[in-house]
Structure 1
């Protein structure tokens, strides 16, 4: 970043006011602060969904609400996190040092009601410059069912408490009335929720202290200059990247499975992207989508823009800083009262961060495939199936109530040009950031036993680059009854491949009864599972990229050797004929050549 090519905010060029080395140093120091915030929460949170699975994100925004610096966090959390401080500033004109605010309302810039967003102002030399922000998914929020997801919740009044930005701390002390309201309206509120809340407070306070130390070390004026140049740098990088793309208008429609009583035909999600390299801008039109549905699957403004930004970023240079300068080069046109876009109060948005949002992610990232190679990313596994369900009940070993979400998915990653699908991808809205649960820890903390959790061969979408296979998981309660709440997808519309790639394997949900009978169950359900019964969940595989018959036969052989593809699957899906020899699995090159030549594609 030299003086002769530094671009100003208006698109022109001019000299940087900071030395290049100082830009690098300060950017890394701010990144380190967000990582410190993350570690504070990770090491002190109470619930497994935060302390093990890492369903949370840390960020710093500018005081005026512009996106500034983010840590490794969930795509659904971070691309929109600047919206919450903007709303808080509209509500409060007396923000002071020592304040901390809590927002979980989807109608106040938040994602959905289960993500509690704590944000604290950062004052330096008496001037408010930043907000430190911690967003974490709660194990329970006091909804009518022991889950943070209410699939049949037609309105926000069925989702539990909504807090549209409340001051929960003043002068660094809790407001006891607000805390008491939360603890008494949330299951295990005084133990689990309060522990997670205090961990989030520690996170934002750590960030506040470190930023103040940074301002003291370098001076407020230097830090303020860096802030503006960092946003300009993000804008310049984004402009340059868009300028290299073809000038095209592209579209893609992805599909969510039918939703009982709300969307019996399913939910199609259509995006149209206009890439304008001359203007160095991308325009995304989402207006051609259905009206809100009477269920909790409607997106919020925050989750809509996050899915759009995330799907685009999945196709661009990963080194572009995802700050306000970057996202300002993307225009999102959305309708009001739509299942994708801005909902009209009080439409239910309980699952705004997952199912249909995953579908929007898929539609955006897959649409780039129409530009030709090397662009595009296939569709990934989606939804909150029974392998990532909420479980609740009473643990007879301790006579204690429990409620938490378990994360047992694996695979599901979409293929991209040059790379097979990521085995630990999970779903689009998490993008591989969520960690899988430790089976041993879960079995210690909850009255369950996990009997099987492994990848399933021939479920990754075939392609020149293969989608990651899906997984199967079996678990059961120990000598008690548990409530299992889940919201699956991809049982009817599996993740599609692009550019000739094939779809991944479908998801499925079953229950094995005490007498050994295996029965299919709805993919969206709340079910009581008793002693002797077993939950069986199948997670979808990711879509493939490119013609499967162009896949390197050696890669197919390796897939078979590792158990991702069977010998029959190699023949049928890839046209690769294999034979077992005394030294292992080998390619029959003549038979493979003949097999591939006989198939017209």
Structure 2
């Protein structure tokens, strides 16, 4: 629907202008972090998100926030009001507690309440994934953690980090005493605070332009409009009850059977609502893979929203039409203390979203998506060690992978998607800058032909990355799903190939590593991460032969797979380069 709210008197143009202004403010906050962050995982890989809340803690602006970050800022706003009911102008709060609305301990969230004419009108929120958060081991994804005590992270359950615009030096000293890279962390803290204050100043100007009462009326109209849009989109879908299983691979001795996940989705077009039920899953496990309320809810919502109109406003109004049912002490629900949620932004979060969006495809051709890469391999691992060039100790998370995106009914998957929790928004590290900042060498990075799930629309292609240390030992830690099975195709589309982590010893011998790895690389050794492509959508034998030819010519596909799977005969020259399609042979293959 394209109308405003007649009760508040908003016409579509004014509503759109004000709604887009909020997203512009979020983008200004985002640019502040990118330009000022210290760690590459934040400033270069963009593993952070900004958002704006209303005075009632509704999400009203996210722009291009990562899906796994966006939902939950509303829960954190509620926690801020609960723990600090007398918050004032000039305050800022630090929260990384997965039990009160945050994602996992590595995501340090800054919340700044924004006042106008003496009243709380907005909250400016910046969430950044830290390179190190004080875990007992040098990683922010500690899947083997038996509980929060074993995890060891510094946890700040909505503590006051600023008062009257001045830092709480007690908190700063605590972090400097515990975090392995204190200067890097402090720079990232100041970056997040600067971005939140940037949002504060811009929101005050927004309020000055329109006035407090008009802003409040806009918020109501904006959320109501978004809800009507979401309701209309769901109302056009067929009624359905969909059930689908997903899986987290076995992970070492601490999770030898992996985790089977069950998702039930009810599409109710009459009431224009979708319900995702995650309650029929196992209890929390004694490992760091449990989801928290924010990530379980947010990734279930994302799985449905991905299958609706692409331009739906991503705010609390839209989310009202997608209900997520959770239960306490569930591995994909509301964790019971002291269960760890160290990997809550990946692993099971990716499984939930992929399972939900691929379940929607069971309605019929034209609905849903395939599954995307779920393999966060060593090329997104956390590396640590001593920089022999005089830089001291280092800890950082790499983002050197690609990861194939899911295919849709109309489009191929992205080739550098990362994982579904990031929705293709994270950036890939610059090799040159990474090699300057860290004592490592990237030996190669390339797409791997024939790894995507084939289909009428194919998934994105996998990436192979190989790197190693320069002159000193390097510790690499990561936890990986998708080693046993690749992302699934839908509607006759093929599955993508699983990923792999491989250690290459100095003598050239290769050692396949498990999904959960904690390995040491000596000089002369390298490590290889091969992520997954995305699943395919639809029968590959009906893909346009011209598109198959383009895939082979660009190195996304092989001529052999083109013939065997797509039923397209590719002509090649003397050097093996694709030059055209043998129309007669292709017709024979497809006729057969």
Measured on the aligned residues, the alpha-carbon RMSD in Å equals 1.4
What pairs up with 1:25-44 in 2 under 5 angstroms?
A: 25-44=17-36
Offset, 1:63: 2.2
Offset, 1:373: 1.6
Offset, 1:15: 4.5
Aligned residue in 2 for 1:194: 186
1:79, 1:322 within 8 Å by CA — same for their partners in 2?
no
2:281, 2:331 within 8 Å by CA — same for their partners in 1?
yes
Offset, 1:6: 4.3
Aligned residue in 2 for 1:185: 178
Aligned residue in 1 for 2:281: 289
Aligned residue in 2 for 1:156: 148
Aligned residue in 2 for 1:435: 427
Q: Unpaired segments of 5 or more residues in structure 2?
A: none
1:169 aligns with 2:162: yes
Offset, 1:364: 0.7
What pairs up with 1:243-258 in 2 under 5 angstroms?
A: 243-258=235-250
2:226, 2:312 within 8 Å by CA — same for their partners in 1?
yes
Q: Relative to 1, partners in 2 of residues 1:199 and 1:48: Cα closer, same or farther, differing over 3 Å?
A: same
For the residue of structure 1 that corresponds to 2:303, the secondary structure is helix
For the residue of structure 2 that corresponds to 1:342, the secondary structure is coil
Q: Relative to 1, partners in 2 of residues 1:584 and 1:163: Cα closer, same or farther, differing over 3 Å?
A: closer
Aligned residue in 2 for 1:117: 109
Which stretch of the first structure deviates more once superposed, 269-278 or 584-593?
Answer: 584-593
1:595 to 578, 589, 592: 589
1:92 aligns with 2:81: no
Aligned residue in 1 for 2:515: 523
1:299 to 284, 291, 299: 291
1:21 aligns with 2:13: yes
2:444 to 452, 455, 475: 452
Q: Distance in 2 between matches of 1:229 and 1:369?
A: 32
Q: Distance in 2 between matches of 1:558 and 1:254?
A: 33
1:278 aligns with 2:270: yes
Offset, 1:293: 1.7
Offset, 1:584: 4.7
Offset, 1:182: 1.4
Q: Relative to 1, partners in 2 of residues 1:315 and 1:510: Cα closer, same or farther, differing over 3 Å?
A: same
Q: Distance in 2 between matches of 1:129 and 1:168?
A: 20
Q: Distance in 1 between matches of 2:451 and 2:204?
A: 51
Aligned residue in 1 for 2:395: 403
What pairs up with 1:326-337 in 2 under 5 angstroms?
A: 326-337=318-329
Q: Distance in 2 between matches of 1:555 and 1:19?
A: 44
2:571, 2:580 within 8 Å by CA — same for their partners in 1?
yes
2:418, 2:424 within 8 Å by CA — same for their partners in 1?
yes
1:423 to 415, 423, 428: 415
For the residue of structure 1 that corresponds to 2:206, the secondary structure is helix
Q: Distance in 2 between matches of 1:207 and 1:483?
A: 38
Offset, 1:320: 1.3
Offset, 1:265: 2.6
Q: Distance in 1 between matches of 2:522 and 2:350?
A: 31
Aligned residue in 2 for 1:506: 498
Q: Distance in 1 between matches of 2:149 and 2:77?
A: 24
Aligned residue in 2 for 1:225: 217
Q: Distance in 2 between matches of 1:21 and 1:379?
A: 37
What pairs up with 1:341-490 in 2 under 5 angstroms?
A: 341-490=333-482
- Deviation digits for residues 340-369 of structure 1, max 9, x if unmatched? 111111101100101111111100110110
Aligned residue in 2 for 1:11: none
1:63, 1:129 within 8 Å by CA — same for their partners in 2?
yes
Q: Distance in 1 between matches of 2:96 and 2:441?
A: 33
Q: Distance in 2 between matches of 1:16 and 1:328?
A: 20
